[in-house]
């Protein structure tokens, strides 16, 4: 068990609209998201003295965002990275505060992932020269995330008999959740047949196995448990965190098999060890859904089912609202919109507060109906412990366990 368990909290969360055409800068969006998170926490600009963000040459930097809001920083760090950064930065924020460098850290991600730097790899990204390690795969027509991950998914089907229909249930579940989320880009519920009947992108991925490129900014505020007690919201305690845990040969992970194994295999003992709990103790998961397969692979690797049984697990109903352990209750990257992992942590914070922003008239006061039919409620009753399974690539992941 970690000596930092329960000593740090997430006290504020904020996000901009999920859109496919923000018509504004990543700086403008970041400022809005950070401001919302500060107000959500009941803090002021003077209370925030740390800032971290992540980007891949596609976003604004902390030295621009902080002064726009009148925040004077004692610490900041602009990190290069994509998926799996969220949980890692939460851990680093704890470290920065623990080291005495600052007191309260705002973590943000701001991206015009649809209208400017297409996250799927088309447009400006596809036109970049190819050099170094990229020569090992890009000249073979393998550049997008889907193309990079499909070999892993295909081998999992070979190794374990996983089917397209089984993993389609991830999209079905997340679409059910998105239908309870006024913010979601795709609110329509879909069926397994819709998924496997959609056009092929890169076999074994159909169009509806893939997430939604989105314009959006998000923010999470981390501070000590002591300060959290004076914040506006019920504190959400950090029990354990693992950041950017990798398989061997992160650059070319296919060298070390089994290639159907993902980084959660290495991360699970760190994060569960810190938290002092196991998978059975978790009530809600947020498993990164860049693709249907990524959610399935992580749930099995972290021990929510046996390795190889992820297909059966995700198609059993357990990951749906009303099931034993719902996953991505806001609809995730497949349906709510793509945020590089931030929104799944934000949703779990709201679940633990008992204050998800669904269609329940009393949602803001924590009055929920627990009626999971279309256009109603998505609050999980008495959610006490949540877990986020962050994904960047098959060989790279992060994880975060929180409690109320």
Partner 1 sequence: MPQPVSYRGMTLLVPDNDSEWAEYFAHARAHTLMMRACTACGLMRYPPTHACPWCMDLGWRWQEVSGRGTIHSYEIVAHAIQPGFKELTPYPVVLVELDEQRGRPTPDEALRIIANLVKDDLSPEAEARVAIGARVKVVFQDLADHFALPQFTLGGEPPVGRVWRLGG
**Residue numbers annotated as active site:** 288, 338
Residue partners of 134: CB distance under 8 A and separation at least 6: none
Considering the complex, state which of residue 155 and residue 171 has its C-beta at the smaller distance from partner 1.
155
Inter-CA distances, 147 with 3, 334, 343, Å: 41, 17, 24
| Shortest reach from residue 167's CB to partner 1, in Å | 13
Distance from C-alpha of 372 to C-alpha of 181, rounded to nearest angstrom: 11
Beta-bridge partners for 205: 202
> Rounded to the nearest 5°, which phi and psi values hold at 280?
-65, -20
β-bridge pairing 236-246 and 215-224:
unpaired
Distance from C-alpha of 375 to C-alpha of 351, rounded to nearest angstrom: 17
Q: Residue-wise over 131-156: b if at least 16 C-beta within 10 A, else e?
A: eeeeeebbeeeebbbbbbbbbbbbbb
Nearest CA among 103, 104, 44, 388 for reference residue 238: 388
Structure tokens at 12: 């504020």
Considering the complex, state which of residue 57 and residue 362 has its C-beta at the smaller distance from partner 1.
57
Considering the complex, state which of residue 207 and residue 374 has its C-beta at the smaller distance from partner 1.
207
* DSSP H/E element including 246: strand 236-246
Considering the complex, state which of residue 164 and residue 295 has its C-beta at the smaller distance from partner 1.
164
| Shortest reach from residue 268's CB to partner 1, in Å | 18
Assess contact for 302 and 391: CB atoms under 8 A.
Answer: no
Neighbour tally for 265: CB within 10 Å: 20
| Shortest reach from residue 15's CB to partner 1, in Å | 28
Beta-bridge partners for 216: 111
| Shortest reach from residue 330's CB to partner 1, in Å | 27
Spell out the long-range contacts of 42-45 with Cβ–Cβ below 8 A and sequence spacing 24 or more: 42/12, 42/231, 42/232, 42/233, 43/11, 43/12, 43/104, 43/221, 43/231, 45/69, 45/70, 45/71
Considering the complex, state which of residue 1 and residue 133 has its C-beta at the smaller distance from partner 1.
133
| Shortest reach from residue 20's CB to partner 1, in Å | 18
> Rounded to the nearest 5°, which phi and psi values hold at 245?
-80, 135
Considering the complex, state which of residue 137 and residue 246 has its C-beta at the smaller distance from partner 1.
137
Considering the complex, state which of residue 116 and residue 281 has its C-beta at the smaller distance from partner 1.
116
| Shortest reach from residue 56's CB to partner 1, in Å | 16
Distance from C-alpha of 332 to C-alpha of 321, rounded to nearest angstrom: 13
Tokens 């924590």 belong to 366
Assess contact for 290 and 391: CB atoms under 8 A.
Answer: yes
List contacts with partner 1 (CB under 8 A): 120-122, 126, 129-133, 135-144, 147, 150-152, 154-155, 157-158, 199-204, 248-249, 251-252, 254-259
| Shortest reach from residue 253's CB to partner 1, in Å | 10
| Shortest reach from residue 208's CB to partner 1, in Å | 13
Considering the complex, state which of residue 158 and residue 370 has its C-beta at the smaller distance from partner 1.
158
């Amino acid at each position: 068990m970690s000596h930092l368990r329960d000593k740090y909290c997430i006290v504020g969360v904020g996000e901009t609209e999920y859109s496919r055409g923000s018509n504004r800068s990543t700086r403008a969006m970041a400022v809005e998201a950070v401001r919302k998170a500060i107000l959500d926490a009941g803090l002021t600009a003077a209370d925030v003295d740390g800032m971290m963000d992540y980007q891949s040459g596609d976003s604004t930097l902390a030295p621009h965002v902080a002064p726009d809001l009148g925040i004077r920083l004692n610490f900041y760090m602009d990190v290069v990275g994509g998926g799996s950064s969220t949980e890692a930065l939460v851990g680093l924020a704890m470290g920065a505060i623990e080291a005495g460098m600052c007191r309260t850290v705002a973590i943000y991600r701001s991206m015009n992932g649809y209208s400017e730097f297409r996250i799927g790899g088309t447009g400006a990204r596809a036109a970049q020269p190819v050099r170094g390690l990229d020569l090992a795969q890009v000249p073979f027509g393998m550049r997008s995330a889907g193309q990079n991950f499909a070999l892993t998914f295909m081998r999992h089907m070979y190794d374990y008999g996983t089917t397209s229909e089984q993993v389609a249930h991830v999209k079905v579940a997340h679409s059910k959740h998105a239908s309870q989320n006024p913010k979601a880009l795709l609110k329509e519920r879909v069926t397994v047949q819709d998924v496997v009947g959609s056009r092929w992108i890169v076999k074994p991925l159909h169009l509806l196995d893939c997430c939604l490129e989105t314009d959006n900014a998000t923010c999470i505020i981390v501070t000590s448990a002591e300060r959290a007690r004076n914040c506006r919201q019920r504190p959400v305690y950090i029990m354990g965190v693992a950041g950017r845990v990798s398989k061997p040969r992160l650059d070319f992970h296919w060298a070390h098999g089994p290639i159907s194994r993902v980084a959660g295999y290495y991360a699970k003992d760190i994060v569960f060890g810190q938290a002092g709990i196991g998978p059975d103790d978790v009530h809600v998961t947020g498993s990164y859904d860049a693709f249907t397969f990524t959610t399935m692979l992580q749930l099995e690797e972290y021990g929510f089912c046996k390795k190889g049984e992820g297909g059966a697990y995700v198609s059993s109903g357990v990951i749906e609202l009303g099931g034993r352990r719902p996953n991505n209750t806001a609809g995730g990257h497949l349906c709510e919109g793509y945020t590089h992992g931030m929104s799944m942590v934000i949703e779990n914070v709201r679940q633990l507060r008992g204050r998800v922003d669904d269609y329940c008239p009393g949602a803001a006061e924590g009055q929920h109906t627990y009626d999971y039919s279309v256009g109603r409620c998505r609050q999980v009753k008495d959610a006490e412990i949540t877990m986020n399974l962050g994904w960047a690539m098959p060989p790279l992941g992060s994880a975060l366990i929180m409690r109320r």
